[in-house]
Structure 1
């Protein structure tokens, strides 16, 4: 029974995520129950992604670091500066401007590799760049947030790096142990079930981060509508810009760069923002999960159209 459920979720990942992201809004009590577990969920998601991909492909990007470095500069430095410039002529609320720039400054979600697996993109690139950006985020996000917004993050660089190191290091060690005990062949045969587990873990995260959003939807519907619209504009805009910038690397890698650029790990920032930060910033971080979980399913026909040609160009 469990294997059947995991197999179904693995075979229909983008569609399951599309539907499941609304559970947190429809069942607010469930969102409140899962919210305290968001932190460990990130580590579990990374662990499952490490089980699913071929590590030899990851090492290839480390041996050819130029494109990786260029992608990291884009993700952590150029993207937030570009968003700030684009927002200058727009009469948006201050909290929304802050949230959009912080979103662009954040590293990609660690689940980007999982989404890349589900839609057929370059998962090794997603996980190498995602991990590298996450480890660099404590160095880049505080000064960028201060320079662009005048916002000082309360968490220290050492504390932030230690927290991320525990998450990343724990996931790596656990995946090494499972790989040693299970073997590569058995992991490959369980690929569909691992994909299904990834989908379920991502659902738990999406439900938990929606805690409190439903109440805001009823009390301030116009604000929620504007925030959702901004999220559905910013996410694909960043994806398109990254795709155009990195198209010379091949379509598969360019699409993967776009996926990482638009799907940012705002959960990391929630823990480090000062208590005086406007609640509306956190509200945007929650609502920005909607395009993260809905766009992969909507973009599947586009990926299928573009990827066959990309396989010959990379």
Structure 2
């Protein structure tokens, strides 16, 4: 019975994520306490998702992704250093100083979300490349974020991001090492039954996370048109980054790799910076961060459609 349920979740990943988005919005209105309870589970669930992604890939999949480290390094420098620095300079030139401006800069400066490999698996993109960009982006985050923070000092004390990133790296290393160890010792193998269980659990956990993070969205959308305008902006930002990256890379790289890099470009771990921001600014950004989950979790459905329309050859 459980295996059948997980098999259905694995097959219906895109629909389950869409349902999670809808439930998250409704829960924020009808059951605000539920979102608060689930928020306490976000951190351990994120770590579990990373573990499941590495467990599914195994040593061979991880090695395949890390083989293109030069492309990965260049991608990180462009996405996490050049783009946010350019954005900061443009905003200062235009004398734009608002919560939206801070949110835009933080999105561009952030590393890919921890669930990147999971979203890649659901949409047919290269999970090893998604994992590579996650690890390299997080590893280089202290070096890439500090110049951005120095250019825009209102974001908080630059050095405080170092301890947070180091803790995140330690968690990634432990979760990844456990997944690789289980595969190397053949405690978990890559048979069809194992993959169904892993993919089903992944889908369920992703849905739980989005419900937890959407608690503030429902009330805001009901309160007025301002939140709807912000939603349109974050949709344009998230999918705009993905489309721009995809159009710039799909003729130069294997299509599955280009798709994974484009997803890394648009789906960023902006929540990582909450711990280093001034409390007032962090509070103002909560709605922005909640709304930004929508393009992230729509990625398998929307970008899967885009890949089909572009006739990309995905693995």
Given the two structures, how large is their TM-score scaled by the length of structure 1?
0.88
The question of whether the paired residues in 2 share the 8 Å contact of 1:9 and 1:16 is answered with: yes
Equivalent positions of 1:82-231 (< 5 A) are 82-84=86-88, 94-148=98-152, 150-153=154-157, 156-180=160-184, 182-183=186-187, 185-219=189-223, 221-231=224-234
1:291 equivalenced with 2:310 (yes/no)? no
Question: Post-superposition shift, 1:12?
Answer: 1.2
- Give the number of aligned pairs: 310
Relative to structure 1, is the Cα distance of residues 144 and 4 closer, same or farther in structure 2, using a 3 angstrom cutoff? same
Aligned residue runs from structure 1 range 5-44, under 5 A: 5-27=5-27, 28-44=32-48
Alignment-derived partner of residue 307 in structure 2 = 303
Paired with 1:88 and 1:275, the residues of 2 have a C-alpha distance of: 23
Give deviations 1:209-248, integer Å, cap 9, x for gaps: 12333333344x2221121111110011111221133231
In the TM superposition, residue 117 of structure 1 has moved relative to its aligned partner by: 0.5
CA-based RMSD of the aligned residues comes to: 2.6
Corresponding residue for residue 251 of structure 1: 255
**Preserved contact between residue 107 and residue 270 of structure 2 (Cα < 8 Å):** yes
Change (3 A) 1:162 1:187: farther
SS of the residue aligned with 1:74? helix
Does 1:56 find its partner at 2:26? no
Q: 1:197 & 1:48 partners in 2: Cα distance?
A: 8
Q: Distance in 2 between matches of 1:160 and 1:242?
A: 28
Distance 1:243 1:279, change over 3 A: same
Query: What is the alpha-carbon distance in structure 1 between the residues aligned to residue 186 and residue 6 of structure 2?
Result: 18
**Unpaired segments of 5 or more residues in structure 1?**
none
Deviates more, 1:29-38 or 1:114-123: 29-38
Specify every segment of 5 or more residues in structure 2 that has no aligned partner in the other structure, as ranges: none
Distance 2:149 2:284 in 1: 17
Q: Could you tell me which of 235, 240, 252 is aligned with 1:237?
A: 240
Q: Match for residue 274 of structure 1?
A: 278
Instruction: Tell me, yes or no, if the aligned pair for 1:83 and 1:101 is still in contact at 8 Å.
Output: yes
Secondary structure in 1 matching 2:279: coil
**How many Å apart are 1:99 and its aligned residue?**
0.5
- Tell me the distance in 1 between the aligned counterparts of 2:247 and 2:63: 25
Partner SS, residue 297 of structure 2:
helix
Q: Is the CA contact 2:111–2:269 (under 8 Å) kept in the aligned structure 1?
A: yes
Secondary structure of the equivalent of 1:267? helix
Deviation at 1:73, TM superposition (A): 1.1
Distance, in Å, in 2 between the alignment partners of 1:283 and 1:153 is 22
| Shift in CA distance, 19/150, structure 1 to aligned 2, threshold 3 Å | same
TM-score (norm. length: structure 2): 0.88
2: CA distance, partners of 1:307 / 1:50: 28
* Greater shift in the superposed pair: 231-240 or 139-148: 139-148
